[in-house]
Amino acid sequence: DAKTTQPPSMDCAEGRAANLPCNHSTISGNEYVYWYRQIHSQGPQYIIHGLKNNETNEMASLIITEDRKSSTLILPHATLRDTAVYYCIVRRGTYKYIFGTGTRLKVLA
């Protein structure tokens, strides 16, 4: 079953790029990688997803290694409002996400 590993916490200076790594060495060929974040006690919020190619949207960029065993979420210009817990997720089976414990990102002024 696909499982993810993330560092428990990271700090980033405001205005700098935040690079959040994720290891998913057991991912299957047709499983997407998703990133969500959770601010305070709110429900998790979708950020981005990818399969094989790098992806970019208005919130972030997702870099997936060629062997798909790891990925990096990039917040290009972190702000204080980006302080949150970030979850890297792959799907287990048909419907099940395995969230893990995520990375607590603290953006410093």
Nearer to another protein, 21 or 100 (CB): 100
- Least spacing, CB of residue 15 vs another protein, in Å: 27
For another protein, the closer CB: 41 or 53 = 41
Interface residues with another protein (CB under 8 A) are: 28, 30-32, 34, 41-46, 49, 87, 91, 93-97, 99-102
DSSP secondary structure string for all residues of 82-109? G-EEEEEEEEETTTEEE--S-EEEEEE-
Nearer to another protein, 49 or 106 (CB): 49
CB 87 → another protein: shortest distance, Å? Answer: 7
- Least separation in angstroms between CB 100 and another protein: 5
Query: Judged by CB, which is closer to another protein: 95, or 109?
Result: 95
* CB distance 15 to 108 below 8 Å: no
- Measured from the CB of residue 101, what is the shortest distance to another protein in angstroms? 5
Cβ contact 46:34 at 8 Å: yes
Cα separation, 73 vs 63, in Å, equals 7
CA neighbor of 85 nearest in space, from 23, 17, 16, 18: 18
- Measured over the CA atoms of residue 96, residue 31, residue 46 and residue 11, the dihedral's sign is positive
